[in-house]
Structure formats: C-alpha cells, structure tokens
Amino acid sequence: SSEVLEAIENVIQGVLQSLAQKKAPVLTVANRTDWRNIEFKDSVGLQMIPCSTAKQIRSDCPQSAKRFALMLKILSMIYKMVQSNTYATKRDIYYSDTLLFGSQSVVDQIINDISCMLKIPRRSLHVLSTTKGFVAGNLCYTEEDGTKVNCTCSATVCIINHKHLNTKDLTSRAKFMLIVEKDATFQRLLDDDFFNKVSPCIMITGRGIPDLNTRLLVRKLWDSFQIPIFTLMDADPHGVEIMCIYKYGSVSMSFEAHHLTVPSIKWLGLLPSDLERLNICKDALIPFTKQDQNKLASIQKRPYIACQPLWKKELEIMAASKLKAEIQVLTSLSSDYLSRVYLPNKLQFGGWL
C-alpha cells in the first residue's frame, strides 16, 4: 500500500513542480498498444520492452486536457481507496460520475494507463474487474475469511473474483485444466458431469474474452499444480485470439505479462483439421465475414505463430476454406459427442497442439 501511495504522490509532486515553474503539467504513459513496444519471449509471451516509446498527456492541449484531468481524478480515487483499504470495480468508478467519464471504456483505458505508468499491477490499485468467469471441478480452497469452498460437486460453480487470488490451502487431484471459450459449452460439460467421468480436472471459462481475474486464476492454478492446461475454443479467428490471450497475453496488458500468461497452454480443439477429419457437413459450417478474414490475417503475422508450425498449419487450413465452426457443431454428430467421444479421445491419444 505504501508503495502505491508513494508512486501516486510522486506523480502529483511532478504536476505541482511544473505549476511552480509556470509550465504546463504533463503525464507520460508508455504506448501500450504499439507493437513496436512489444517483444515476444517463449517463456513469457508478449511483454513490453524496457525502453518503450511513450505518449504525453498534456494539460495545455485541447485534445488531451480532458484525459489529463480524468487521470488525476482516478488517481485521487485510487489514493483514497488504498488509504482506507476499500475496493471498487471499474464499473463503480464509471457510475460515480457517468457524465464526467462519458463511457466505461474511457475508465478502463485510463486505469490500465495508470497501472502501466506507476508500474504497479492493477489489483494493487484496489480496482477490481467486474466478475465474469466461472470455475468448477476438482478444486478446494479456503477464502480469506476462513470459508472453505469445494468445487468438486458438479453443482458447484464458483464465480471467479478477486477473492480467488488471495485464497489459501489450494488442493486438487486434477490431472489437467480445461479452459472453455463459451459459457454454453461450459454448462453443457457440467450437465454431462465431464470433469468426473474422464478423469478429475478443473474447468474454467472466461465467457469469451477473459477478464483479468480469470487470467490471474489460470496463472495461479498453473503455478500451484503445474498440470497440463488445454483450451477448447470455436474453430474461428475469434476463438484463436482468445486462446492466444490466455497463452501469450495481449498487447494492451503486456506490461503485466509475468503475472498473466501461461505459455505452456495447449490447443485441444476445435481444430480446423478436425472438421474435415470428422466429416462435418459443409452446411453446418459458417462462411467467413470480411472481419474474420482481417482478424485471421492479423493473427498469422504475429511473432508467436512463427514458433508454432502446427498452429500455423491449422490457420492456413482455416484461411483456405474461409469457413468457421462453433464447438456446438459437434452436436450434428450426436448430442453428447463432445463429452462422450471428442474430448476423451483427444485427451487419451494426444490430439492437441
């Protein structure tokens, strides 16, 4: 806490010094979204280079004066929360003055900029992500207040929140972790009691693009148990993008890569090559949109694809066919094909990349 308070005080001191010298105060923030500031390392994923280019948020420039003011406003809110040991979600901050902030995305970007500028992980700023992900399976832990939680019962699905990151006595007999892209597939696997039938496992879903808490939990479970982690995604560019966020991280959060990425994650399915191998009817597949084509082309150029020749091959199959498929396409073979045939076979015979 003292480190956070001191970092904020240093920023404000810089602002006051500029004013004392009759200069316009400026906040300097690393350019988080510029690929030139990012390097790829096998062991970490995408991380920000130490000497990254920065952008200046000036108080005397019409284009950035409002952003400068909003950054100071949110810095003051963070300072008060850290001092009083209270927490707020990004949503709480936005709704504290919707007219001032204008949109939730403005608040989200500023909080990430502040975290990057102060070089302090976002959770240490007492700002929480809105809860989104779920975890279930062979996992027991004790919460901060002493509450014991057992996710092993198939009816127990825990919402992933900041409490998970401070849990103690994590225990599991799981042989692997399965990250599922979508909530609907996750719920279907729960209904089929998948994590007890094949072998004990932990299932996680970020329900689409994962929030920070879900990514932090995946990393925490990897650090704790060192068991294989597989992903189950749609066979489309969006699914590949989500899998890459878990495995290699995102450009915008590359300054926190060491806490968030798990480069050992494997691609279990749905592979583009599976669609041909399983004779999935062409009518069940969905044609690419222009957006899909652009997204796939962008992924193919990323530095981590070059060191994944098998992934590269799958993406080429997808690009050539210009067709995509959701995991639910497997129900065209039989209603429980995913949990009864597809996943058990893949896990037993090593059908992952």
Q: Which residues are catalytic?
A: 95
How far, in Å, CA of 123 to CA of 127, rounded? 6
Are 327 and 232 within 8 A, CB to CB?
Answer: yes
Rg for the chain (alpha carbons), in Å? 22
Here the tokens at position 229 are 């982690």
3-state secondary structure 107-133: HHHHHHHHHHHHCCCHHHHCEECCCCC
User: Measuring CA to CA, which residue among 72, 75, 36 is closest to residue 52?
Assistant: 36
Helices (H) and strands (E) in the chain, counts: 16, 17
**Cβ neighbour number for residue 112 with a 10 Å cutoff:** 21
SS3 (DSSP) at 146? coil
Do 352 and 266 contact (CB within 8 A), yes or no? yes
- Give the Cβ contact number of residue 124 at 10 Å: 15
Take residue 30 and report the two structure tokens written for it: 């690393």
Q: Identify which of 167, 173, 134, 174 has the alpha carbon closest to the alpha carbon of residue 148.
A: 167
Residue among 237, 244, 338, 251 nearest 290 (CA)? 237
d(CA 237, CA 299): 8
